[in-house]
Amino acid sequence: MRAPRPSRAKRPPLPAAIGSGARIGRFRVGALRLEGGMSYLYDVHTARAQAPLLLKTPKLGSDHPRSSLVAFENEINILKRLHGPHVPQFVAAGDLQQRPYLVMERIDGDALAQAARRAPVSTTEVCDLGVRLCRAVQALHHQNVIHFDLNPANVRNRTNGDMVLIDFGLAHHTALPDLHDSAFGEEEGTTPYIAPEQLHHVRSDSRSDIYAIGAILYQLATGQFPFGRPNLLSLKKRLVQPPWPPRCHNPDVPPWLQEIILRCLHVRPERRPSTAKQVAYLLAHPESVTVGARGHRTRPPGVVQRARWWMRSLFQKFDAETPHKPYTRLTSSPHVLVALDLAHCSEALSEALRRAVRRLAMSEPHSFFTCLSVVPREARLPDDVGDVSSLDMQRQVAMRSWAQPLHLAPQRMVFQVLPGDPATTIVEYVRRHLADQVILGARGSSAWRQHLGSVSAVVAAQATCTVIVVRTRQDKVPT
């Protein structure tokens, strides 16, 4: 007598699909807006919506990627925890087992994608878009999330120009389990922008997003992908060598911009800029970029050099390093704004400011500094020669003279003279350039404070970072 066959475990039924015209609670699903590789995107309407909304639902079934539902669950888990202007607002989500969907804010601007389609674009536009992209990535890393799929299609923009990152299906929040973590053996990301370490399934390094930023800048500046047509060969090349210099494709790319792009696209993560904020800083301050031989190259590497890179790649390993949290790396490379008003600063206060900068420079070896002097509009002289007034030039010279005893490397210090109200200009500079700390001196004369107001008090109250006010007992500003 035959033994009875063991009954096969029934596969759980697929969740119910969602399409145009469906009603889900208070939401009515509108027209299909976009079909992606893993999901569908629909317009969605509700009487209480104060902004346009978007409904996202995963592709289901045997003919769709196995990772679709995992990526969808991952996106919901991460988006729920994100906040700020650089991510879409989370609205609602459905049960993954029964009817999976995600409702979120819809962002219509696609300035970066449009620029990528008509690339190459001007250096000014590359830098403007690059700085705004870096701010968004910096804000994401600040919340301990690594995107891992940065590309022009996954970057939107608000009406005020702020970039918004979307599609967190492949992202990793360092406080959550990594649902991907080589689960499906698939390469994760969009081929032209994948960092070398991602090919080795290293999903703990925020500098993978820096590589993607470099690839986007390369595309904007040249109209080409860093390693040519996206295919298996282009994936293998990035494990061995850097891409051709952008100036091979577009001679108008300035050497300092090529230097920044190739730094971001370095094979080794530790040789790239540590943070997106540093990339934004370099793009906004070309004078701070130390241009080496790679910045001036206009020809592709020769056979001998490629052979050296290939031999070196045989001994390279891409290992996950600690610490894993992007926020930890952010805090180890602070951008420090030093607000200087040397015209109304005593020798004692000037030296105290230098000591404060010197201590920070020694304790934070990866820190970088902007010395800023603000000229009130009523104090500016007529601009008779060139674009810079004689007063601006005097302040530039004075700041450089003040900084000389610090003996800091040129790439760690930039000097800026800007017009405007001192307190307002400092606060706005902090916001635009993501400064981590401000160092400024307290005015020693009550007469000056009554006339100009307490700049240090306004900056301390309004700046979105740490403010160090340096004060000396002996300090007295002449009236």
Least confident of 104-118, 240-254, 460-474: 460-474
Domain that holds residue 271: 111-181+189-298+322-329
Domain of 158, CATH number, reads 1.10.510.10
Residues 361 and 274 in one domain: no
Domain of 402, CATH number, reads 3.40.50.620
Residues 143 and 84 in one domain: no
Residue 401 in tokens: 């003279």
386-413 exposure pattern, b = at least 16 Cβ within 10 A, e = fewer: eeebebbebbbebbeebbeeeebeeeeb
Least confident of 41-55, 79-93, 348-362: 41-55
Name the DSSP class of 55: E
**Mean pLDDT in residue range 23-48:** 85
Do the domain assignments include residue 479? no
Convert the pLDDT of each residue in 262-283 to its tens digit: 999 999 998 999 899 999 999 9
| pTM of the predicted protein model | 0.83
Residues 275 and 139 in one domain: yes
Burial class of residue 463 in the structure, from the number of CB atoms within 10 Å of its CB (0-12 exposed, 13-18 middle, 19+ buried): buried
**Mean pLDDT in residue range 143-158:** 95
**According to DSSP H, which parts of 332-381 are helical?**
347-363
Residues 214 and 291 in one domain: yes
Residue 324 in tokens: 């894993």
Residues 65 and 131 in one domain: no
pLDDT exceeding 90 applies to what percent of the chain?
43
Do the domain assignments include residue 478? no
**Mean pLDDT in residue range 78-86:** 95
HSE, CB side, 13 Å, CA atoms: give it for residue 114.
8
Convert the pLDDT of each residue in 451-477 to its tens digit: 445 788 888 888 888 999 998 866 544
Residues 139 and 231 in one domain: yes
Count: domains in the chain? 3
Q: In a 3-state reduction of DSSP, which class is residue 170? A: coil
Higher pLDDT, 318 or 152: 152
Q: Which phi and psi (to 5°) does residue 83 adopt?
A: -150, 165
What was the pLDDT predicted at 479? Answer: 42
- Asked if the bond preceding 242 is cis, omega within 30° of 0, the reply is no
Do the domain assignments include residue 376? yes
- pLDDT at 182 > cutoff 80: no
* DSSP track, 403-469: HGGG---GGGEEEEEEES-HHHHHHHHHHHHT-SEEEEEPP--HHHHHHH--HHHHHHHH-SSEEEE
Residues 374 and 443 in one domain: yes
**Mean pLDDT in residue range 170-177:** 87
Q: In a 3-state reduction of DSSP, which class is residue 57? A: strand
Convert the pLDDT of each residue in 319-350 to its tens digit: 555 445 676 666 677 889 999 988 888 888 99
pLDDT tier for residue 229 given thresholds of 50, 70 and 90:
confident
Higher pLDDT, 366 or 63: 366
- pLDDT at 448 > cutoff 80: no
**Mean pLDDT in residue range 26-53:** 85
Whole-angstrom distance, CA of residue 446 vs CA of residue 103: 56
What was the pLDDT predicted at 5? Answer: 55
Whole-angstrom distance, CA of residue 221 vs CA of residue 123: 7
pLDDT tier for residue 64 given thresholds of 50, 70 and 90:
low
